[in-house]
Amino acid sequence: MLPHLSFIGHSFQSPDADIIVKKFIERMSESIKNEMTGHLFAEIFEFKVCNRTYDKSETLVKMAQVPKEANFNFALKSANWNKEGQIEYTVTISGALLDDFDAQFVYCPYLQVLKSGSIPSCPAKRTLAKPCLDDLGLFC
């Protein structure tokens, strides 16, 4: 199934962004359990957290530092096609760190990789009193 095709001024998109992302989230969850996530990120992947940007290798290192007992859970909040034929989606991530948090990602269904990610809000109290998203200091 091709999610996006363009023909002389007409655009056809599959309405199934949620289904595609849910399948990817299942793959991501399984890969995290098996500690084999690198293939799910584009080489140019960037993850923006508050005032810092992590590249693919830095993101993978940070993910590997999350204790094995942590149980990543990704609850899909929204998924929408963008004009480049990629899917922009938002999830609530729980189990990985102390507090649940929302994260946004751009997924390329053709290559089946994440292109980018971000945590959209960095509350002032977190920036000043507790600059990290966790007590381990993983994402500061």
Instruction: Please report, for the domain that includes residue 9, its CATH number.
Output: 3.10.450.50
Band the pLDDT of 67: cuts 50, 70, 90: confident
Q: Residue 69: inside a domain, yes or no?
A: yes
Statement: residue 19 has pLDDT above 90: yes
Decide if 62 is inside a domain. yes
Q: Determine, yes or no, domain membership for 55.
A: yes
> Does a structural domain hold residue 27?
yes
- Please tell me the pTM assigned to this model: 0.77
pLDDT tops 90 at residue 126: no
**Residue 136 forms part of a structural domain:** no
The parent domain of residue 69 ranges over 4-128
* Residues 53 and 47: beta-carbon distance below 8 Å: yes
Q: Is residue 31 part of a domain?
A: yes
The total number of structural domains in the chain stands at: 1
| CA–CA separation, 115 and 46 (whole Å) | 7
Q: What is the pLDDT of residue 13?
A: 53
- Assess if residue 102 is contained within a domain: yes
Asked if pLDDT for residue 87 goes beyond 80, the answer is yes
- Comparing 111 with 96, the larger pLDDT belongs to 111
Give how far Cα 94 sits from Cα of 11, 14, 22, 75, 101, Å: 36, 29, 16, 8, 7
Residue 132 has what pLDDT?
Answer: 57
